[in-house]
Amino acid sequence: MQTVCIVGLGYVGLPTACVFAQSGVTTIGVDTRSERVASVNKGLSYIVERGISKAVQEEVESGRLRATTDLKAAVSGSEAVIIAVQTPFEGGKAVLDHLVSACEKVAESIKSGTVVIVESTVPPGTCERLVLPLFDRRGMNDGFEYYFAYCPERISPSNSLDEFRMNDRIIGANNQASLERGGSLMRTVVKGKLFATDLLTAETTKLVENASRDVYIAFANDLARICYHLGVDVHEVISLANTHPRVKILKPGPGVGGPCLTKDPYLLLEGLGERRGEEGLMIVTARSVNSGMTNAVLELAKADGGLRPGSKVVVLGTSYKPEVADPRSSPSEQVIKSLLQMGCKVSAYDPYCKEGFGAEIAENLAAATLNASCAIILVAHHSFQDLKLDELVSNMAPDPLIVDAAGTSRPRDAKSGKYRLRRLGDGKNSRMGTS
């Protein structure tokens, strides 16, 4: 292996490029955004997470990693191409323009014997229906003139480099030669197992992984609403239920965020074509439950007239999950926008994420909570889990309300006379909650 080209330097592509470069492979990253290319070539990472900044700096300085906007030149000088462009979900379907454009240019530029792997998440059937024909039209036969495989990513944005190397992966291809060539390429960097299958199964498996997580979370969130109305604490119920050897219920929260769980269930259903709407009822229900948690959080805050126009509210956490700086599709966005529409004055504080979604961004917790009548905890960052609520309310207005939608507080905290505590799904220790 002499040179590998990574098309797309986003949250998947940049870590992919770093891992290959760290393995000693000459790596060229390609992106249409010139500012992102310039940043990488200076040894700087726009992604904030463990190890990425150091990896970009070291690999650029070593000469193993560089970036360019010239896709055709990068592809023609490479023996392998990995495509990791975005496939957003808009207007009820996947937008595959970036993928098609990238694959068209790759098909125009690859030399004989090149390995082409798509990492981007796509609806089932995309590779067979859209991607392979782009190469076929140029007289290139998969498994002969080039080798095509689909190997979806399985990384967490908080630990991309290690997860890329250590996690097991699925790789799909429509012939043995492409499976072997694609597998050989991935084994240069992946230490986990590679499970081989066909293209359609690989595409479907990726989406099923994320759809299943959405369903699991929806069950926990549904339980939160049930337990409130029953007058029990959902956290205690789940903890006790999980002592059963065959039960593993997740924790409830303010919804589901991020670039995958919010769209991949829909991409899975998109593959059904005309049967969409007839199948996948559990997936549709899960999406509805998780999307509806914004209202559950707001009801906790509004009960007994707790919020009025002009009230100052502090939102703790704007990233889409703990310990990351990534705000994409964060449940906090809809909560903040709803509060602003109600006429509340909203400040936001997150130790990692600097996105406020229209709220005033506070530099520290003290500034965020100053004179606030309500604090809403939406992300279970470690620093919020360690936060003593007596300290949290020390800067707030008298008789403040704390809404814990992230499960960072404990039932004993509800007994304090210094503040009112409402915990999502807790009908045992707080009598205000979801409707």
The residue whose two tokens read 């899975």 is 268
**Angle of CA points 186, 142, 271, to nearest 5°:** 80
In 3D space, the residue among 84, 75, 137 whose CA is nearest the CA of residue 112 turns out to be 75
What strand order describes the sheet that includes 169-172?
65-68, 26-30, 3-7, 80-83, 114-118, 146-150, 169-172, 194-197
Q: Distance between CA 418 and CA 402 in Å, rounded?
A: 11
Q: How many CB atoms lie within 10 A of CB 88?
A: 11
Surface-to-core class of residue 75, CB atoms within 10 Å of its CB (0-12 exposed, 13-18 middle, 19+ buried):
buried
Residues in contact with 234: Cβ distance below 8 Å, sequence separation at least 6, in sequence order? 220, 223, 224, 226, 227, 228, 252, 424, 425, 426
Backbone φ and ψ of 282, nearest 5°: -65, -40
C-alpha torsion sign, points 408, 412, 415, 416: negative
Backbone φ and ψ of 323, nearest 5°: 65, 25
Q: How many CB atoms lie within 10 A of CB 155?
A: 19
Backbone φ and ψ of 244, nearest 5°: -70, 135
**With left for phi above 0 and alpha for psi between -120 and 50, is residue 421 left, alpha or beta?**
beta
In 3D space, the residue among 260, 1, 270 whose CA is nearest the CA of residue 153 turns out to be 260
Active site residues: 206, 260
What three-state secondary structure class fits 48?
coil
Q: Distance between CA 54 and CA 359 in Å, rounded?
A: 32
Q: Distance between CA 48 and CA 11 in Å, rounded?
A: 10
- Within 13 Å and on the Cβ side, how many CA atoms surround 228? 22
Q: How many CB atoms lie within 10 A of CB 147?
A: 23
